[in-house]
Amino acid sequence: MHEEFDIAYMKKIMEPFGLVYYGCCEPLDKKIDILEQIPHLRKISITPWADIDNAAEVIGNRYVIANKPNPSSVSGHLDEDALRKEIGRILSACKRNGCSFDMVLKDISSAGYDVQNLIRWEQIVMEMVQSY
């Protein structure tokens, strides 16, 4: 249904554009084959609900992964160990498969009334990415 009701239209709509970024909040890791039909595809959204290992393996170096880690990590007490584990898994999958990626903390509905959660999240992720 995804191919019939979305990709078929995207193929027509995206044709006149340059590079295209596709995706939102659904897991696309098992749909890369149908996404490849989109003309000028350059970047694919990989959400927390997707399997980053599968996505990185299938995508390789053909597209950029727009990775969106789980935003719940900043909504209350920031569990730094859990965050490091999640980001480490993302970085490992991308490195193992030669993927280019960007990482965006998206869809935040709460920072638990503590802006330090956001600041610390950024510090941890940047530290890990710089040693990537």
Give percent of the chain above pLDDT 90. 82
pLDDT tens, position by position, 47-106 = 999 999 999 999 999 999 999 999 888 888 899 999 999 999 999 999 999 999 999 998
Domain of residue 30, residue span: 2-130
pTM of the model as a whole = 0.91
Q: Are 52 and 67 in contact (CB under 8 A)?
A: yes
d(CA 132, CA 130): 5
Q: Which of 18, 61, 52 is nearest to 38 (CA)?
A: 18
Domain count, the chain: 1
Cα–Cα dist 30/50, whole Å: 8
Side by side, the strands of the sheet bearing 41-46 are: 20-22, 41-46, 64-67, 100-103
CA distance 27 to 9: 19
Q: What is the mean pLDDT of the chain?
A: 94
Q: Which residue has the tokens 């390789």?
A: 60
Kindly give the interhelix angle for 80-96 and 115-130, rounded to the nearest 10 degrees. Answer: 30
For residue 71, which phi and psi values (nearest 5 degrees)? -75, -10
3-class secondary structure, 20: strand
Q: Name the band, by pLDDT with cuts 50, 70 and 90, for residue 25.
A: confident
Enter the DSSP assignment of 88: H
Measure Cα distances from 41 to 11, 23, 77, 112 in Å.
10, 11, 38, 36
